[in-house]
Amino acid sequence: MTEISGHTRVYAILADPVHHVQTPQKLNALMRARGHDGVMVPVHVGAGELATVVASLKAMKTLGGFVVTVPHKTAIVALCDEVSRQAQLVGAVNCVRREADGRLVGDILDGLGFVAGMRREGFEPKGRRVLLLGAGGAANAVAFALADAGVAGLSIANRTRAKSEDLARRLSQAFPALPVDLDEPGAAAPDIVINGTSLGLAEGDPLPLDASRLTAGQIVAEVIMQPRVTALLAAAQARGCSIHYGLPMLECQLEMMGDFMGMTSPDKTPPGKT
Ligand code: ATR
């Protein structure tokens, strides 16, 4: 970080709890690497205080933007002046840019980061049939980003069927040409299997799907970053699948957050600023 001065742009991450967040360290490092004069700080915001804090941030002229995480990703949507189509579809925002006139523009970058991460590792989702495990926050973001990326079809499998039905309905509304189903028995084998559930985060978790369904040549991908090799990835590898770790999603998303909030090098004009 360069010396903090009156020119330094300020960024925040709003979370509750906040002690575990690692985004500030990563985005401060990204700003340093890009030669951007800015600093990101963690801000502990309880659910009942979000609107007050956001109104204050909106009034801060040196604010570049802020990252939003658990539990605020849904509530923040209504507090933005403008949100991207992806964010509208997912119903969540995780990154907000403050324009020079104080308008707050929100986007959801985790699903887009997942797709960018797959592409960076040489896995192209366009034209592929995908089995998505899960229908929670992360799976929703990934589902809409995959639909946008042009997958050939999307099957959704989730423990709570009502949530997969709801996700399938919203996907079909937004992408009427996309074949979407609920992973019915006898469905054609997918080209890509993605774990968007939280199963695998804890040691001893059961697999999010029956490993006998994995066949050589399939791509099996994780949204979970830690552990790097989940039990699902280990099982997939043993069955001759190509595996895709969760970490590239985070790495790509951090770059996108930096671009979105205008953490550019001094000789570049940040997006939205003239
Ligand atoms: P995140 O924001 O990380 O996606 P979430 O919205 O709570 O967190 O979603 C967690 C996902 O993991 C959901 O799809 C959840 O299934 P339910 O919708 O049925 O709750 C899935 N999940 C969590 N624990 C699970 C378990 N023990 N077995 C199967 N699925 C599980």
pLDDT tens, position by position, 10-19: 999 999 999 9
CB distance 68 to 98 below 8 Å: no
Domain boundaries, the chain: 9-108, 111-248
Ligand 1 site, residue 84, Cβ cutoff 6 A:
no
Q: Whose CA is nearest to atom 3 of ligand 1?
A: 138
CB distance 92 to 141 below 8 Å: yes
pLDDT band per the 50, 70, 90 thresholds, residue 274: very low
Question: What is the number of the ligand 1 atom nearest to the C-alpha of 134?
Answer: 14
Tell me what pLDDT residue 270 has.
55
pLDDT tens digits along 219-264: 999 999 999 999 999 999 999 999 999 999 999 999 999 999 999 9
β-sheet bridge partners, residue 219: 192, 242
Tell me what pLDDT residue 256 has.
98
User: What share of the chain has pLDDT > 70, as a percent?
Assistant: 96
Tell me what pLDDT residue 91 has.
96
Residue appearing with tokens 């360290």: 25
> In a 10 Å sphere around its CB, with 0-12 CB exposed, 13-18 middle and 19+ buried, how is residue 5 labelled?
exposed
pLDDT band per the 50, 70, 90 thresholds, residue 266: confident
> In a 10 Å sphere around its CB, with 0-12 CB exposed, 13-18 middle and 19+ buried, how is residue 13 labelled?
buried
Tell me what pLDDT residue 273 has.
52
Options 26, 58, 73, 268, the catalytic residue: 73
pLDDT higher than 70, residue 2: no
Q: Select the CATH number that applies to the domain covering 111-248 from these four: 3.20.20.300, 3.40.50.720, 1.10.3720.10, 1.10.10.10.
A: 3.40.50.720
pLDDT higher than 80, residue 21: yes
Enter the CATH code of domain 9-108. Answer: 3.40.50.10860
pLDDT higher than 60, residue 59: yes
Ligand 1 site, residue 132, Cβ cutoff 6 A:
no
Q: Matching CATH topology for 9-108 and 111-248?
A: yes
CB distance 143 to 157 below 8 Å: no
CB distance 116 to 256 below 8 Å: yes
Instruction: Give residue 70 CA to ligand 1 midpoint distance, Å.
Output: 14
* Pair of tokens at residue 190: 């997918």
Between 34-43, 184-193, 248-257, the lowest mean confidence (pLDDT) is in 184-193
ipTM over 0.95: yes
Ligand 1 site, residue 198, Cβ cutoff 6 A:
yes
pLDDT tens digits along 115-174: 999 999 999 999 999 999 999 999 999 999 999 999 999 999 999 999 999 999 999 999
Instruction: Give residue 197 CA to ligand 1 midpoint distance, Å.
Output: 5
- The mean pLDDT value for 50-73 works out to 97
pLDDT band per the 50, 70, 90 thresholds, residue 65: very high
What's the N-to-C CA distance of the chain in angstroms? 24
Residue 91 to residue 78: CA distance in whole angstroms: 10
**DSSP 8-class letter at 77:** G
